[in-house]
Amino acid sequence: MTSERKKILLRLDPAVHDALARWAGDELRSTNAQIEFLLRQALADAGRMPGSAKRMRRPGRPSRAEGDGSEE
């Protein structure tokens, strides 16, 4: 199984995109990360989250340990 992240084209109504972007900013996520967060939440709520899915990075700035590759 490949660890490369999948890329998709997503067409959104501009008002929906603007609302998502504002929400993402409020939670210190990118719009892309917010969409993934919401999709994962919907999958989990529906009992369809694959056990092989990796965890998302926490919102906000990466810690020093995450940013420099060292373990603390």
Is 35 contained in some domain?
yes
Has residue 1 been placed in a domain?
no
Whether 34 is covered by a domain: the verdict is: yes
| Counted domains in the chain | 1
- Would 25 be classed as within a structural domain? yes
What confidence tier does 51 reach under pLDDT thresholds 50, 70, 90? confident
Q: What is the DSSP string of 1-49?
A: ---SPP-------HHHHHHHHHHHHHTT--HHHHHHHHHHHHHHHTT--
Q: Is residue 41 included in any domain, yes or no?
A: yes
Average pLDDT over residues 21-44: 94
Q: What residues make up the domain containing 24?
A: 13-45
User: Is residue 60 in some structural domain?
Assistant: no
pTM metric for this prediction: 0.71
